[in-house]
Amino acid sequence: MDKKKKIFWIIIAIILILITFRLLPFGTVGAGERGILLRFNAVTGKIYGEGLYFNIPIIEDVKKIDIKIQKEQVNATAASKDLQTVNSTIALNFHIAADKVAKVYQQVGLAYKDRIIDPVLQEAVKASTANFTAEELITKREAVKDQVKELLRKKLDIHGIVVDEFNIVNFEFSKSFNEAIEAKVTAEQQAL
């Protein structure tokens, strides 16, 4: 064989190997993931657990969704019961319910943090913060946290998202409010 024919057959062999690997009828779902079987890009409802799966090349595909605990931290601005502006940093630990990954993928896609979680976090913080005065937000922090967490559970459970933990990382009030609090504390100390 001459050199051109050898190169031709090597290129053909490489192409066949690449096509074979692309068309393999199996794959794996990693730890902490679920695989959603798609047939012609339509969700079939079949969910693969961790391990090996088989599918029909070209016709079927498997999309993987992470079901491990994830964290979303956002800043939220709200008004307290006494109309003080409150800037909060809040953190949510959550995971996708393993039996609802197909529903999440079909209805929301992979952008569930932006489309579902962030707006629900903002809404829950605003609704709960409005039930407490600025002073109560500090003194009853655990009650505020529990109220926000319960609202999050109700709203996110509908979408197949499970709330594992919710934390208020920080509360910040306006500069004028902070100065008023300092003046009040100073006046109380001087009166004593």
Summary mean pLDDT of the chain: 89
Question: How confident is the model over 65-122, as pLDDT tens digits?
Answer: 999 999 999 999 888 888 888 899 999 999 999 999 999 999 999 999 999 999 999 9
74 near 118, Cβ under 8 Å? yes
Mean pLDDT value across residues 14-24: 78
Integer Cα distance of 145 and 168 in angstroms: 7
* CA distances from residue 49 to 32, 35, 69, 106 in whole angstroms, order as listed: 9, 7, 16, 18
Q: In what order do the strands lie in the sheet with 60-66?
A: 42-48, 33-39, 60-66
Among residues 142, 143, 151, 144, which one has the least CA distance to residue 124? Answer: 151
